[in-house]
Structure 1
Amino acid sequence: MRYGVVVLIAGLTGLLSFSFLTVAIGTDYWYIIDVNKPNYTGADDLSSHSGLWSINEGESSSSIIPSFAANTSSLSEVERHLLGLHQVVVIMLPLSLVLLVFGWIFGLVSSLARSPNLLAGSASYFLFCSLFTLSGVSIYISYSQHAMEEFERVVSPEDLAYVDVSFGWSLAMSWLSYSLEVATGLLLMLAARIIQLKGHHDSGVTIAMV
């Protein structure tokens, strides 16, 4: 492949990874709870969907998740553990977003300089960023599973029969962002290899002409 095409695709995938992670962090469809209770005539919708920052119940009710402002002295050991997992998630994913900004700038400078070492460094940086995103998403999944186990412990099996839980499209966007971060790193590695091969080829041509 040509160097220009590779770095152009890498720039596009890097930009998309940042955009997808921004959308994921800013939306509230990470975890969805659908309640379809028969013969329910209450005015409130029992279903809810939540994100990293808030929980939306029904059509208009919304509450902020107090990740750092919560009074932990009144919480149980399980609740403190869940809160700790959530705190890690809301730190790691925004941090990954900030790192992506610097990675995109570093990758742009490296591609313009056509330096194999800088391109390899940019590639390693993007792969490092992807570990933050992967860790944050994995911890969120673990947090959700533990929260569901605690929910199942306090809710009767009869009521659980009408509850359907699933991960939403916000989580899917974060997975896409992770995949694109990895793809960006691999493309920058390929660009560095293309420059190295071109340098060896040019050196060989020069020696042959001499």
Structure 2
Amino acid sequence: MMRYELVVLSAGFTGLLSFSLLAVAIGTDYWYIIDVNKPNHTGPDDLSSHSGLWRINEGVNRSSVIPSFTANMSSLSEAERHLLGLHKVVVIVLPLSLVLLVFGWILGLVSSFASRPNLLAGTASYFLFGSLFTLTGVSTYIRYSNQAMEEFKRTVSPENLADVDVSFGWSLAAAWLSYSLEVATALLLMLAARIRQMKGHYDSGVAIAMS
């Protein structure tokens, strides 16, 4: 039988790593990368850019804040308002998921020391619930980015897009990995709960046999 201590230590490690990766993802600006390679471009400015949840970085020294909550909605088109709405969901849900991870790690620590199957299973369910926030945030960001690119393509000629390469960056990959580790943490806690439950049944059987 797999040792209980090894399983709960593994769950603690994956939970902590999930938090760290999500914190890095939220704080970095490599969610979406636009690489422009114009062969005849002779200007001093780099046309490429990379963006995160809060900022867009253009060239070497230029950056701007994404005005999700400060934009004048009355001056925007319906498509632009929809995009900002999607972005608001992302910047609310992902930090909330980070907070839920903190409380989940604390709950996991308490339940592992208590060694009670019900507490361990409840904490596992909590992690699964929290992982839905991460999944929602990441999925919404992908939808937001794809729709933003579709809107951009409507305003730019195909010739100008020929030298533009767009891709999702490592910040998004870190968020996806964080989600996977949240689920792994939940599964490990469920396994720990099962181990304690089986240990309890075994101890009860031994006590009955010896009485």
TM-score range relative to shorter protein:
over 0.9
Return the alpha-carbon distance in structure 1 between the equivalents of residues 67 and 110 of structure 2.
40
Runs (5+) with no aligned partner, structure 2: none
Deviation at 1:173, TM superposition (A): 0.1
- What is the aligned partner in structure 2 of residue 180 from structure 1? 181
Q: What is the rounded CA distance, in whole Å, between the counterparts of 1:33 and 1:87 in structure 2?
A: 22
Q: Which one-letter code corresponds to 1:79 in the other structure?
A: E
Q: What code does the residue aligned with 1:147 have?
A: A
1:11-65 deviation line (CA, Å, top 9, x unaligned): 0000000000000000000000000011100111100000000000000000000
**Matched residue pairs, number?**
210
Q: Show the counterpart of 2:121.
A: 120
Partner of 2:86: 85
Match of 1:208 in 2: 209
Q: Counterpart in 2 of 1:75?
A: 76
Identity percentage over the alignment?
80
Q: Secondary structure at the match of 1:45?
A: coil
Q: What letter matches 2:23 in structure 1?
A: T
User: CA RMSD for the aligned pairs?
Assistant: 0.3
CA distance in 1, matches of 2:72, 2:36: 29
Residues 138-185 of structure 1, C-alpha deviations (whole Å, 9 max, x = no match)? 000000000000011100000000000000000000000000000000
- In the TM superposition, structure 1's runs of 4+ consecutive aligned residues that sit over 4 Å from their partners are none
What stretches of structure 1 of length at least 5 have no aligned partner?
Answer: none
Written as runs of structure 1 = structure 2, the 5 A alignment for 1:151-170 is 151-170=152-171
Look up the equivalent residue of 1:21 and give its one-letter code: L
TM-score normalised according to structure 1 size? 1.00
Counterpart amino acid of residue 95 in structure 2 = P
- What secondary structure is seen at the aligned counterpart in 1 of 2:126? helix
What is the alpha-carbon distance in structure 2 between the residues aligned to residue 62 and residue 146 of structure 1? 22
Give the TM-score, by structure 2 length.
0.99
1:80-159 alignment, distance < 5 Å: 80-159=81-160
For 1:171 and 1:42, the matched residues in 2 are separated by 31
Which secondary structure does the structure 2 equivalent of 1:39 belong to?
coil
Cα separation, 2, equivalents of 1:57 and 1:22: 23
